[in-house]
Amino acid sequence: MPFVHVVAMLAIVQFLMFGILVGQAREKYGVKAPATSGNEDFERALRVQMNTLEQLVCFLPALFVAALYWSPTLVAILGVVYLAGRFVYWRAYVASPSTRTVGFLLTVVPTFVLVLLALFGALFR
C-alpha cells in the first residue's frame, strides 16, 4: 500500500505545483485577483489546475478503494499513468488546447479503470 500512498501524495503535489504555475502566470500576465480571465495564457494555466482538481475528485477515492481489493502495485501503476497523463495534459494545454487529447485520455482512462476496479471489488470480493 505504500506505493499507493506515494502516488496519492504525488497527485496532490502535482496539483499544488499547477496552482503555483497559475500564480506565476497571474503575475506574468498581469491578471489581478480575483479575475479569472483577461489573458489567454493565464486562462490556460488556470484551466489545467481546475481540470486537475475536477479529476482528483474521482481519482483519489477510486485509487484508495481499488487498492483495498486489488494488488496495490497494479493500482499504483495505474496511478502513475494518471500522473504522467496530467503532465502530458498540462504541457499540451498550455501550448495549444486542441492538442490535449492524449493527456486527457492518459488521465481519464486510468481513473475509469480504478473506479471499475473499486466498484467490482466492493461488490464481488
Compute the distance between CA of residue 55 and CA of residue 49 in angstroms, rounded to an integer: 10
Which CATH number fits the domain that encloses residue 87? 1.20.120.550
| pLDDT tens digits in sequence order for the chain, 125 residues long | 799 999 999 999 999 999 999 999 999 999 999 999 999 999 999 999 999 999 999 999 999 999 999 999 999 999 999 999 999 999 999 999 999 999 999 999 999 999 999 999 999 98
Model's pTM, two decimal places? 0.95
Residues 6+ apart with CB under 8 A from 48: 18, 21, 89, 90, 93, 94
Tell me if 75 sits within 8 A of 5, measured CB to CB. no
Q: Which residues form the domain of 17?
A: 2-124
Predicted local confidence at residue 1, as pLDDT: 73
Query: Into how many domains does the chain fold?
Result: 1
